[in-house]
């Protein structure tokens, strides 16, 4: 069964520094997608970045990049130049292409950016 | 750009009452997903629809039902509400063969 593991319940980072949020996954499928979502205290789920299992290059979206290491089954999110507005809950999620495309989420990492 | 619309945003019900949550996907998105997020929990998949047909079912109680209509909006019907149903309910939509799922703002249901 597919599973997402986020081992960091909470993290601190100084404003303007970079931070890496860890995510490992487990799947027997060859074709899958990995996602990161941001959930501020207001509750909405904001899509950040997507990485397909066959994508050869790591995905990047502005200050967000995904460090995809397929052999290690890890998909860490790197946020560069942290801003106070980055303080939120971050969820890693996976979708197996052979399924209905539903997302399986990890338990999340709460990031707090210090001024 | 248009986003996923959910209504109502907040809902308070008593135990054993019923509730209906509505979701309006992004235009031209044909797939709708429903997720339930309990307090301090990660979102859990409930049910999904593709082209108005149920495509997958997760840990959705038998007291809940859902459907997708001809205009692609979806409704989640919840009956005999229990205290444990208090949660944030998200609807997400995706376009045909799309990778991203875009989430609505959620409906916060409180059962008293």
pLDDT of A23-38, one tens digit each? 999 988 888 999 999 9
CA distance A106 to A7: 9
Q: How many residues does chain B have?
A: 112
**B30/B111: higher pLDDT:** B111
DSSP A31: S
**Residue of A52, A99, A107 lying closest to B42 (CB–CB):** A107
Q: Which of A43, A100, A108 to mutate: most B Cβ within 10 Å? A: A100
The predicted structure's pLDDT at residue A92: 98
Query: Pairing relation of β-strands B64-68 and B74-78?
Result: antiparallel
Residue B32 pLDDT > 80, yes or no? yes
Cα dist. A64→A38, A77, A81 in Å? 11, 7, 10
Q: Which of B39, B42, B60, B86 to mutate: most A Cβ within 10 Å? A: B42
CA distance A4 to A9: 14
Residue segments in chain A with a per-residue pLDDT below the cut of 70: 1, 97-100
The predicted structure's pLDDT at residue A29: 85
Residue B100's pLDDT band, with cuts at 50, 70 and 90, is confident
Ramachandran quadrant class, A63 (left: phi over 0; alpha: psi -120 to 50; beta: rest): alpha
Cα dist. B8→A50, B15, B21, B34, B110 in Å? 29, 18, 7, 15, 12
Mean pLDDT of B48-74: 93
Residues B68/B74, Cβ–Cβ less than 8 Å: yes
Average pLDDT, chain A: 93
């Amino acid at each position: 069964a597919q599973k997402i593991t986020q081992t960091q319940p909470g993290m601190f980072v100084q404003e303007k520094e970079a931070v890496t949020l860890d995510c490992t996954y487990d799947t027997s499928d060859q074709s899958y997608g990995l996602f990161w979502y941001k959930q501020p205290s207001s509750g909405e789920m904001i899509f950040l970045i997507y990485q397909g299992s066959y994508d050869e290059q790591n995905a990047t979206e502005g200050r967000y990049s995904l460090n995809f290491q397929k052999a290690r089954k890890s998909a860490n999110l790197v946020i560069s130049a942290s801003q106070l507005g980055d303080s939120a809950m971050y969820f890693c999620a996976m979708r197996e292409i052979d399924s209905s495309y539903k997302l399986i989420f990890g338990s999340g990492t709460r990031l707090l950016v210090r001024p | 750009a248009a986003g996923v619309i959910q209504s109502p945003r907040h809902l308070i019900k008593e135990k054993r009452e019923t509730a209906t949550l509505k979701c309006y996907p992004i235009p031209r998105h044909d797939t709708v997903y429903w997720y339930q997020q309990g307090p301090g929990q990660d979102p859990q998949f409930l049910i999904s629809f593709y082209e108005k047909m149920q495509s997958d079912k997760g840990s959705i109680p038998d007291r809940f039902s859902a459907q997708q209509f001809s205009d692609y909006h979806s409704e989640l019907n919840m009956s005999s509400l229990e205290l444990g149903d208090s949660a944030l309910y998200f609807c997400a939509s995706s376009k045909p063969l799309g990778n991203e799922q875009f989430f609505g703002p959620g409906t916060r249901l409180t059962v008293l």
